Chains A and B, each alone.
Chain A
Amino acid sequence: MTKKITIEPVTRVEGHGKVTIHLDDNNNVVQSRLHIVEFRGFERFAQGRPYWEAPVLVQRLCGICPVSHHLAAAKAMDVIVGAGTGEGLTPAGEKMRRLMHYGQMFQSHALHFFHLVSPDLLFGIDADPAIRNVIGVAKEHKDLAVMGVMMRKYGQEIIRATAGKKIHGTGAIPGGINKNLSDEEKDFFLKGDDPMNIDKMIEWSEASLDFFKDYHSKHKDLIDNYATFPSNHLSLVRKDGALDLYHGVLRAVDAEGKKILHDVDYQDYLEYIGEEVRNWSYMKFPYMLEYGKQEGWYRVGPLARLNTAEFIPTPKAQKAFEEFKAYTNGKPNNMTMHYHWARLIETLHSAEIIKELLNDPDIQGDDLVTKGTKQNEGVGLIEAPRGTLFHHYKINERDEITMANLIVSTTNNNEPMNLAVNHIAKDWMNGQSEITEGMMNAVEVAIRAYDPCLSCATHALGQMPLEIALYDKNNNLIDKKRK
């Protein structure tokens, strides 16, 4: 008789989901799935609202990286008010938005690595869950915990200075921004009391990266072989191939590094990207139309970005990038746990970019908004912490939104997360007579590498956790774990 395991809720991820694992008579994994069980409906209730409200309304999808939605919607609205994309904004408009975005990237990556992931690395995947959490980190590794909390705080303060609030601000408006950076704010971030200044943040970012590399050198088998599988990778890149998290063209490479989406204008994303619906999850499965549902799926996020980009335009992160690329001889990196490595390189890059922007006089300019000839449709793309985020809106002559389509970062990672779950379920559970909490956490570790935000991904309203269920071959529930 086969069994079905349910892990519900999956913990230390954003949003609510569950994992089901089907076992046969010999306790071998037959099938496993990550189900997203929330539904929200933002695409529907944005309809009828004024277009200028979208950046503020739609960011309510999430409290972790609302800035991504705020900016993606604002970028779409830039097109609608005739300000164009990217280069169309005033220097102050674009650079304030970039500062907001890189501040967010910095705080979100810090949150993910220190609060959500570090307990697995510091205590072990199958350690006692009573210790394997952020409180355990604070007790046993105080310096790391303080670093994580203060890095997140610094990023959040950047968001507050640019968006007006740390969560759900209003800074980005169609065609630009509603404020510049004051002298007081600039000095606070550049020369704040220790540790709240950018030089300390760069130093800590390097220390975080060193911590991971040291861990990697001691746990190569875990980091290199955990849920590793080949895939396509997709992200925005700057026109010259540089890593750019705010704006660029859409590029994808295959598992061998061959370019398969050729730096296209994201206004035309519908020509390249499709979404498949499966009846067991509220989260859709995006894929590249040219390569079909079977072959066209891809990964997004830090790992994908470092696979598509040719270089990083800041010195310290570039050095780290070269080391990262050398590890796979310049080929795309398909190791799931290397998401953490890539994420920490991006954290360092974000800190360097923040310093550049803070020292740029343009960011204190007074010309904040660009307007042109109004359009009835606009697409905004941004590289959110978790990956490429698509916002697409249409409006009518009365300024009402008539259509909204959101493809959220985590949605783009749906297929790879399912594959990762399948890999780990097989590696850890095949043939085992008893399913332990450690085995189930192993599945979560694979999901956690993608830093999924399940609330965003379904645009859903609900609680945060995720569960795992175990079923027999007749689909009878025999075990269920909820955390």
Chain B
Amino acid sequence: MSEKVKFTIDGKECVAERGQNLVDAAADNGVYIPSLCHLRDVIPAGSCRICNIKNAGRIMTACTTPVEQGMEIENDISELNDMRKAIVEMLFVEGNHFCPACEKSGNCELQALAYRFQMMVPRYPYEFPIKTPDTQDSRLWIERNRCIKCKRCIRTIKTEDGKNIFAFQERGHKVEINIDHELAAGLSEEKIQEATDNCPVGSILKKGTGFSQPIGTRRFDKEAIGSDIEKVV
């Protein structure tokens, strides 16, 4: 039987099940801890570092930190927010993110976080890396220019017998997302849509469907990212 524990985030008293990850536990208590790579009910990867919080003075990723009794978490503080903003800025300069012509605009979590953190211009120089999209698949367009290496697709989209469809290739700075076209051909339409929806940016696109959602009805057109969580409780 699960055990309830009490903890605080920026002084707010919260209750959650022991061992639940801090991002989800905070959301259940109406506190938004920004994240990019995390998805509820998916084993966390801790790869984007946007969800960095302070626990007993140490900075750690909230998505990989289980809740314990008596924790005193710092979340919405300038030191952490600036660090998060810096990471968002790095993600922008390391890829080729041209929001004006991107079909994910308005539904893009990276763009939404940039707005939340009021990013005007990145503090780092643009790298303008040369990336080649993988357009071979008949249903999916893999737009490597926009991939932020969150691994959501790798972690969530699998064949019925559990094989990975997506994987990283190359190493270090050159790492990029790759797709197994043979296995992808067997994916259901629902899985294709799930792959597109799970991608936080416009890197996995369902071919031929872009811009079908009108401006004004997109996820972040009316509400800033995280405001749905902050309204709860």
Contact = CB atoms under 8 A, between A and B. Distances in A.
Interface of A: 48-50, 52-53, 55-57, 60, 81, 163-165, 168-171, 173-174, 178-179, 369, 398-400
A52 B210 contact: yes
Interface stretch (B44-52, B121-129, B133-141): B133-141
A56 B141 contact: no
29 contacts: A49-B101, A50-B135, A50-B141, A50-B207, A50-B210, A52-B207, A52-B211, A53-B101, A53-B103, A55-B211, A56-B100, A56-B101, A56-B211, A57-B100, A60-B101, A164-B214, A168-B100, A170-B211, A170-B214, A173-B210, A173-B211, A178-B211, A178-B212, A178-B213, A179-B214, A398-B135, A398-B136, A399-B141, A399-B208
Given A56-B101, A164-B216, A81 B135 contact: no
Given A50-B135, A50-B210, 6 more contacts: A56-B101, A165-B215, A168-B100, A170-B211, A178-B214, A400-B135
Contacts of A170: 211, 214-215
Interface in B181-233: 205, 207-216
Given A60-B100, A399-B141, A48 B212 contact: no
B215 A173 contact: no
Contacts of A55: 211
Contacts of A369: 212
Contacts of A400: 135
Nearest to A81: B208
Given A48-B133, A50-B207, A398-B135, A56 B103 contact: yes
A55 B103 CA distance: 11
Contacts of A49: 101
B141 A164 contact: no
Most buried by B among A163, A168, A398: A398
Which residue of B100, B101, B135, B210 has the most chain A CB atoms within 10 A of its CB atom?
B101
Contacts of A169: 215
Nearest to A163: B215
Contacts of B133: 48
Interface residues of B, number: 18
Contacts of A398: 135-136
A50 to B, nearest CB: 6
A400 B142 CA distance: 12
A57 B103 CA distance: 10
Nearest to B100: A60
A168 B105 CA distance: 13
A163 B215 CA distance: 8
Contacts of B215: 163-165, 169-170
Nearest to B134: A398
Given A60-B101, A168-B100, A398-B135, A53 B214 contact: no
A81 B214 CA distance: 20
Contacts of B135: 50, 398-400
Nearest to B207: A399
Given A60-B101, A398-B135, A399-B135, A50 B205 contact: yes
A179 B213 CA distance: 8
A165 B214 CA distance: 10
Contacts of B214: 164, 170-171, 178-179
Contacts of B211: 52-53, 55-56, 170, 173, 178
Interface in B88-105: 100-101, 103
B134 to A, nearest CB: 9
A420 B190 CA distance: 60
Nearest to B212: A178
A178 B212 CA distance: 5
Which residue, of B209, B210, B213, B214, has the highest number of chain A Cβ atoms within 10 A? B214
Contacts of B101: 49, 53, 56-57, 60
A52 B216 contact: no
Contacts of A168: 100
Interface in B50-101: 100-101
Contacts of B141: 50, 399
A171 B212 CA distance: 8
A52 B210 CA distance: 6
A432 B214 CA distance: 58
A52 B208 contact: yes
A28 B127 CA distance: 54
Nearest to B101: A57
Nearest to B103: A53
A171 B217 CA distance: 12
Nearest to A57: B101
A57 B101 CA distance: 5
A353 to B, nearest CB: 23
B131 to A, nearest CB: 11
B99 to A, nearest CB: 11
B106 to A, nearest CB: 9
B84 to A, nearest CB: 28
A178 B135 CA distance: 24
Contacts of B208: 52, 81, 174, 399
A60 B208 CA distance: 20
A178 B211 CA distance: 7
Contacts of B212: 173, 178, 369
Contacts of A50: 135, 141, 205, 207, 210
Contacts of A48: 133
Contacts of A174: 208
A52 B136 contact: no
A337 B161 CA distance: 73
Nearest to A170: B211
Given A164-B216, A165-B215, A178-B214, A52 B100 contact: no
